[in-house]
């Protein structure tokens, strides 16, 4: 194992962590060396992610009301087909029930 091999892997680790290859850190170097040598190298604590984006709102914000939008055509078609299926099933059950009554008399 050469220093160039460790450096190449450290650059790969930097890319995986969202940095340019020439911006590999000491932790990237240590991790690369650890991967190549096994448990003989001690790994330092991970550095905090600098580019972490926060998506949730601050506590206490109430948000805002959004305008109601009509359902898409796909939703209305699916609902219509579902209702047709339920009506057809009810109709079939009523026919079977009336046939069963006729057979009993």
Mean per-residue pLDDT of the chain: 80
Q: How many domains does the chain have?
A: 2
Q: 3-16 and 26-37 are packed helices; what angle lies between their axes, rounded to 10 degrees?
A: 120
Instruction: Assess if residue 91 is contained within a domain.
Output: yes
> Does a structural domain hold residue 8?
yes
pTM more than 0.85:
no
User: Residue 22 carries which DSSP code?
Assistant: G
How far apart are the C-alpha atoms of 67 and 70, rounded to whole Å? 10
In a domain, 28, yes or no: yes
Question: In this structure, is residue 30 part of a structural domain?
Answer: yes
**pLDDT digit string (tens) for 36-79?**
887 655 555 455 555 555 566 566 666 778 888 877 777 778 88
Structure-token pair, residue 63: 């948000």
Q: Please report whether residue 88 resides in a domain.
A: yes
Q: Give the domain range for residue 96.
A: 72-105
Q: What is the DSSP letter of 42?
A: P
């Amino acid at each position: 194992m050469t220093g160039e091999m460790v450096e190449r892997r450290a650059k790969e680790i930097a890319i995986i962590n969202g940095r340019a290859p020439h911006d590999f850190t000491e932790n990237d170097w240590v991790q690369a060396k650890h991967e190549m040598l096994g448990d003989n190298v001690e790994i330092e604590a991970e550095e905090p992610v600098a580019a972490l984006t926060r998506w949730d709102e601050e506590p206490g914000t109430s948000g805002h009301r959004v305008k109601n939008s009509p359902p898409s055509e796909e939703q209305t078609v699916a609902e219509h087909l579902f209702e047709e299926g339920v009506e057809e099933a009810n109709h079939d059950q009523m026919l079977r029930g009336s046939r069963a009554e006729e057979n009993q008399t």
